[in-house]
Amino acid sequence: MWEEDDVIFVVREGRKPFETNIVNIDAQQELIEGNQEDPVFQKEQLLGNINKVIDKAKSVNVPVIFVRDLDVAGGNGVGFQIHKEINVPSEAKIFDKLATNAFHKTGLLEYLKLGRIEHIVIMGCQTQYCIDSAVRTATINGFDVTLVGDGHSTKGTDILPAKRIIQHHNHTLHGHYNVEHFSIVRNSEEDLFSPTHDSYR
């Protein structure tokens, strides 16, 4: 075990460091439920698919990360916490953010770099805001990204319903690239932890 800048990374004897991490963004109680507004699109499917992927990750020792938005529920109370129906692993790492971008001044980028992570699997909310910015920023910063196509959601706007927003982003972000690194979209039923990005390079 070694430590740098308050981040601890364990290298298990006889195996290489984890290359993949799951990053769940803003999967918080009030944001998903909507509080006095509507919940996110297909809330139950979203929660079920997030749990499905987390369970698969635990079975193959893929670490799980959560990023919480401090704007949700004013950064306090039950509404701010990760949704109560999500099976949060006891060892999950949690980062809090002030910006739309999960990598902005949160320590997430440094944590992933320190762990020598090459591939991240992204889920959560909301599609056109924090999910989109995280996928694009990750590719810029040297990660291949798998966006779980049925593992992110949002609410509709005056311009587009939520379903169309999700479909649009799944289409746009599948194959999005920044020369060396890019994103693909796969559903929760697929083998998310065996990256296929190299077959596109």
Confidence band, pLDDT 50/70/90 cuts, at residue 7: very low
Tokens of 45: 């499917």
> What is the rounded CA–CA span in Å between residue 190 and residue 162?
23
Q: Is the pLDDT of residue 11 over 50?
A: no
Least confident of 15-24, 147-156, 163-172: 15-24
Top CATH class of 16-200 equals alpha beta
CA distances from 118 to 78, 85, 105, 138 (A): 33, 29, 20, 10
Tally the residues of the chain.
201
Each domain of the chain, given as residue ranges in start order, spans 16-200
70-81 pLDDT, tens digit per residue, is: 999 999 999 999
Q: Is the overall model pTM greater than 0.75, yes or no?
A: yes
> What is the rounded CA–CA span in Å between residue 13 and residue 90?
22
Residues 49-71, mean pLDDT to the nearest whole number: 97
13-54 pLDDT, tens digit per residue, is: 333 444 999 999 999 999 999 977 899 999 999 999 999 999
109-149 pLDDT, tens digit per residue, is: 999 999 999 999 999 999 999 999 999 999 999 999 999 99
> What is the rounded CA–CA span in Å between residue 170 and residue 185?
6
